[in-house]
Amino acid sequence: MRLAVSTLGMPGDGLDRAIEIASGHGCQGLELRLHPDTGVHAGLGPEERRSVRERVERAGLEISALAGYVGICQPGPDEDAVEAVLADLRLAADLGAPGVRVFPRGGDPAVGARRLKAISGPAADLGTRVLVETHDQMSTGAAVAALLTEAGCPETTGVIWDLLHPWRHGESPAATLAALRPWLSYVQVKDAVSAQDTTPVPMGEGSVPLEEAGELLRGAGFGGWVSLEWERTWYPQVAPVEEILPGAVAWVRRFAA
């Protein structure tokens, strides 16, 4: 496993500060949230893109993923969703990121599968992948697996297993991993008060079954990115991400395959 940290946990901090936090706290990667507030988004011009990539690489880091917000199953015209994902994938290619996170934002796998198929050719040409997160209407591994099975694009699609959401929807970590294993590309790690109260807490102080998930990932030989998604953007009252990163570092070291 290789540890990254998401800029979701750094509201108000610019890219240089995010790089400083990641490189100074044992991370190998930085997960960049795509949003105007972060300064990283598909509207950047060529020089700005080069600057982002060079600054990250100069610090000895990699961009583990771009955290986009497109709903791959969201109701609406296919063309809008496809073009939005392709814009993020072009940005990923320019920044040297391997993939872009999308959310389901809908419950019909046929809609998402159709769009993933349309994106597959251009994604392959760019050398990037679409990473569907276990979230919202498709929070379980079983739901995302159904979507990706129908899409049938394993070379250009993968899964982000957010450890919180399948569990809080009643799916055990073992069942999630079994469902997602053919596509598992990325893991987002976090802890929270409970399945009902998702307020972030330091690793090991909440209810998310982190030990069970870690053992399963080690047993599966998972060697990909694990990103600490500390949701301080949504919960501004919680501690700075710098105080949480040591727990994530220890978790990755304990369960690294």
All structural domains of the chain? 2-255 (3.20.20.150)
Q: ∠ at Cα 139 (214, 204), nearest 5°?
A: 35
Rg of the chain (C-alpha set): 17
- Secondary structure element (H or E) that encloses residue 120, with its range: helix 109-126
DSSP strands (E only) in 84-140: 99-103, 129-133
SS (H, E, C) 162-193: ECHHHHHCCCCHHHHHHHHCCCEEEEEECCEC
Q: How far does CA 223 lie from the centroid of its chain?
A: 15
- Secondary structure element (H or E) that encloses residue 157, with its range: strand 157-162
Beta-carbon contacts of 122 under 8 Å, excluding residues fewer than 6 positions away, are 86, 89
Q: What separation in angstroms does the CA of 190 have from each of 103, 151, 166, 243? A: 18, 29, 13, 13
pLDDT at residue 201, as a whole number: 98
pLDDT at residue 205, as a whole number: 97
Rounded to two decimals, the pTM is 0.97
pLDDT at residue 195, as a whole number: 97
Strands 29-33 and 62-71: parallel
- pLDDT of the chain along its 257 residues, tens only? 999 999 999 999 999 999 999 999 999 999 999 999 899 999 999 999 999 999 999 999 999 999 999 999 999 999 999 999 999 999 999 999 999 999 999 999 999 999 999 999 999 999 999 999 999 999 999 999 999 999 999 999 999 999 999 999 999 999 999 999 999 999 999 999 999 999 999 999 999 999 999 999 999 999 999 999 999 999 999 999 999 999 999 999 999 96
Which residue from 210, 247, 237, 227 is spatially nearest to 62, judged by alpha carbons?
227
Q: What separation in angstroms does the CA of 46 have from each of 58, 186, 236? A: 18, 28, 33
